[in-house]
Amino acid sequence: RNMVDKSGVDWWENSVIAITSNRKYCIDNKGKFKTFGENSWGLTACDGPKGYEGRYGTPPSGYNNDQHYVDGTVPPAGAAGSIVFLPDESIAALEYYYKNYPQLWGKYGFKDAYNIDVKPAWYAQDVIGIDKGITLLMIENYRNEFVWKYFMKNAYVQSGIEKVGLKKKN
């Protein structure tokens, strides 16, 4: 946060733009996919009705835009991991999932993903560690910035930031 790279890119702002675009894609395509909507967004790699799919996501991105795979599957970790960037929208999404899709809730919180566009509606039966990790880390950062504070104090992290040329924003 509050840093730019050698080209002047603010990667925090880039993340806000990308997440906003992801959410807008889901809102704009809710007529094509019943799972999508203003409170059901955050497309990213996750399990789907046919198994794990690493191409879930929304254009535009670094991929050629025809390489994205979209079938209506939404992982709660997408919105949860975005909570520091779009807090109100992320919290609304998490509340929506919890209140409207009890099948999506399990022993460890939200299951990996869901898709009501397939028949019968599909709900992941498992959780994925990396998705739980980003969810927990970002919620903690949202609550009190604990992870950021200590991560940024680490000498290796500081050295890496210097080596890649990140500078404090003016």
- 8-48 pLDDT tens trace: 999 999 999 999 999 999 999 999 999 999 999 999 999 99
Q: pTM of the entire structure?
A: 0.91
Residue 60 has pLDDT above 80, yes or no: no
Give me the residue spans of the domains in the chain.
9-128
Sorting pLDDT into bands at 50, 70 and 90, what band is 62? low
- 118-162 pLDDT tens trace: 999 999 999 999 999 999 999 999 999 999 999 999 999 999 999
DSSP string, 66-96: GG-B-SS-B-HHHHHTTTTTSHHHHHHHHHH
